[in-house]
Structure 1
Amino acid sequence: MAGSDMPLGELLEHLLGLANVSLSLWDLPENATARLINVSENATYLVEATGGHKSVLRVHRENYHTRRAIECELAWLDALSAENVVTTPGYYIGKDGSAIQEARAPGLADPRFLVLFHFVEGEAPDESGDMSAGYEQLGAIAAKCHQHTISWDKPQPFERLTWDVEAVFGDTPTWGNWRDAPEVTGDARSVLEQVETTIRNRLAAYGKAPERYNLIHADMRLANLLVDDAGTRLIDFDDCGHGWLMYDFASAISFIEDDPRIPDCKAAWLKGYQSVRQLSAEDLAEIDTFIMLRRMALLAWIGSHIEAPEPQELAPGFAATTARLGQAWLDDLV
């Protein structure tokens, strides 16, 4: 949870207190309690109470999303579900009539925005073996979301994060500068400088026409699909924002870009996608560019979030693998 100078352990103690105190903002059972289940940009808590109540509380990182940006996320969730594009999680309205709550707690300098989501039943597709079926489903869902966003009359002003070249490589990158990540030295850095320059040049030529660049989920991984007998649900829209549509495939293989199964996953994703929406030759030609853009963003994310357990686990060798993937990509372009 970059954005706070407080040690992570101390921060999480304060946030747990905030999470539990804030439950009174909704009409929940009196004995409801929150326990941490995930830490990334935000802290996410499972809320449980006797009688079988379950819900999911998202406590937002400070200074990451504005209230308006969260309103726009929820508006897209509502539209996708209402128009039967894909089922998305519902959310609770607070006692004051608002879906977005704001709360403070001792020890935290800034208030936090909070959203309480319905608990979603189901399991994510299995990632231990052949993932092709899951990626074909992901591709079809991505295409449906893209078709929707291209034609959707978005509420104005529409405010969300941007996932373009400047957001990754600019003067104030959203997730930090990849050069500050662990082990970015020597030959690895030299290769990655070439990768950045090439990405910049190719995507400047590709452009931002609305059928190429629009509102995207930006984290549409198998882990964010939940499947049961009632159907498939797409969750975790916290990173949704303005970006290239094909970036949604790149985000779908986050952290596993070097997995030997990825070529099959890519083929399956494209099969699913093009069963709904056709892609141009230019779109297909730049998919690997977006894979490298995302990988560079993840390298920066590791560096700027290194106090958290997941980045610490991922950091060893991540820069070297990114450079190896980058060099192979550059070689293929020749």
Structure 2
Amino acid sequence: MSGTDMPLEQLLGYLETLANQSLALWDVPEGATARLINVSENATYLVQAPNGYKAILRVHRENYHSHRAIECELAWLEALDEEKVVTTPGYFVGKNGDPIQEGRVNGLDDPRYMVLFHFVEGSAPDESGDMSDGYEELGAIAARCHNHVLNWQKPDDFERLTWDSDTVFGAAPTWGNWRDAPEVDATVKPVLEQVEQTIRERLGAFGKAPDRFNLIHADMRLANLLTDGHGTRLIDFDDCGWGWFLYDFAAAISFIEDDPRIPDLKAAWVRGYRSVRTMSDTEEAEIDTFVMLRRMALLAWIGSHIEAPEPQELAPGFAATTARLGQAWMDRIG
């Protein structure tokens, strides 16, 4: 059976079996076990052994990324670290010489790709108080990554997802159609249709010049920064792909777009970004368009992932708040 056709609890039972039986594909210590710590696009496991060994196992969602696409993610992650742009997690190579392993488990029709990452010490910045310092650092890291991709010789046949108007709103949207999300009813749908049209028009005019649209992390939130006495590390490159540089700010405020602190956080992010890389006033003025693009993508994501706990928790009121934010944005831009 496909993983998309069964209850999440049943799927996670199969994936836990797969994760634990697959540890033998790497040279891990005897007695190592895998315990689920997060489920989103992928299932992520903490691998521990009695001797103190720790690692992070990512079991990929079925039919989401190809083997080549995951290779390209790891290539960028490695290049950023080697060129000292930002510290990223290393990964273990399997016994067959490939860092990307493939495994099957009875009960699931399709194989799953897996990557075993080094365990990264540190904690994410506190998101309960003033987050300005964290966002200033996020902005600076984003700018360094953007500078890097403009000069990085990407591997041949470079393959990653694209985050643009077509993959959010087109005929085959990556995260589904926002119209299918919970609570998209007659009270909010007309506004959201107008929001989509406005985004399409503005991003069409903004264009895709390489110094605006290139390889991005696409999920650079505070939760994906880990800090300790040795510095800051950037993790979770699973969504990295082709997109507008300014989308990295939009991703940074995922799910909290209506927080009253957002104007201050945006100012801090822009300040950090400009400490590293030029951002024109025209580009700064367009940031909120990317915020709305991301918000609409998240609405679609909630609808297409509603079997998981996080989307279920987020769903109530999300469509109405998206419409309210969208109307306020359209009113501002005139």
Fold equivalence (TM over 0.5):
yes
Distance (whole Å) between structure 1 residues aligned to residue 93 and residue 24 of structure 2: 12
Partner of 1:151: 151
Residue type matched to 2:20 in 1? N
Are residue 203 (structure 1) and residue 203 (structure 2) matched?
A: yes
Deviation of 1:152 (Å): 0.7
Are residue 170 (structure 1) and residue 161 (structure 2) matched?
A: no
Partner of 2:232: 232
Matched residues, number? 333
1:90 partner SS:
coil
Partner of 1:105: 105
Partner of 1:223: 223
Partner of 1:310: 310
Residue type matched to 1:98 in 2? D
Partner of 1:19: 19
Distance (whole Å) between structure 1 residues aligned to residue 280 and residue 263 of structure 2: 19
Q: Is the 8 Å Cα contact of residues 206 and 282 (structure 1) preserved in structure 2? A: no
Partner of 1:4: 4
Q: What does residue range 1-334 of structure 1 map to in structure 2 within 5 Å? A: 4-334=4-334
Q: Can you list the C-alpha shifts for 1:82-129, whole angstroms capped at 9, x where unaligned?
A: 000000000001111110000101001011000000000001011010
Question: Stretches of 4+ moved more than 4 A in 1?
Answer: none
Deviation of 1:282 (Å): 2.2
2:232 partner SS:
strand
Deviation of 1:3 (Å): 6.3
Q: Can you list the C-alpha shifts for 1:165-187, whole angstroms capped at 9, x where unaligned?
A: 00100000000000000000112
1:17 partner SS:
helix
2:142 partner SS:
helix
Q: Can you list the C-alpha shifts for 1:3-31, whole angstroms capped at 9, x where unaligned?
A: 61111111100000000000000001120
Residue type matched to 2:94 in 1? G
What TM-score, normalized by structure 2, do the two folds share? 0.99
Distance (whole Å) between structure 2 residues aligned to residue 146 and residue 215 of structure 1: 7
Structure 2: 5+ residue runs without aligned partners? none
Residue type matched to 2:327 in 1? Q
Q: Is the 8 Å Cα contact of residues 3 and 108 (structure 2) preserved in structure 1? A: no
Q: Can you list the C-alpha shifts for 1:236-291, whole angstroms capped at 9, x where unaligned?
A: 00000000000000000000000011111000000000000011122112100000
Distance (whole Å) between structure 2 residues aligned to residue 255 and residue 198 of structure 1: 21
Distance (whole Å) between structure 1 residues aligned to residue 149 and residue 3 of structure 2: 30
Distance (whole Å) between structure 1 residues aligned to residue 34 and residue 3 of structure 2: 23
Q: Is the 8 Å Cα contact of residues 3 and 63 (structure 1) preserved in structure 2? A: no
1:35 partner SS:
strand
More off after superposition, 235-244 vs 180-189: 180-189
Identity value in percent:
74
Distance (whole Å) between structure 1 residues aligned to residue 24 and residue 115 of structure 2: 13
Deviation of 1:320 (Å): 0.4
Q: Can you list the C-alpha shifts for 1:12-66, whole angstroms capped at 9, x where unaligned?
A: 0000000000000000112000010000000000000011111000000110000
1:3–1:31 CA distance, 2 compared to 1 (3 A): closer
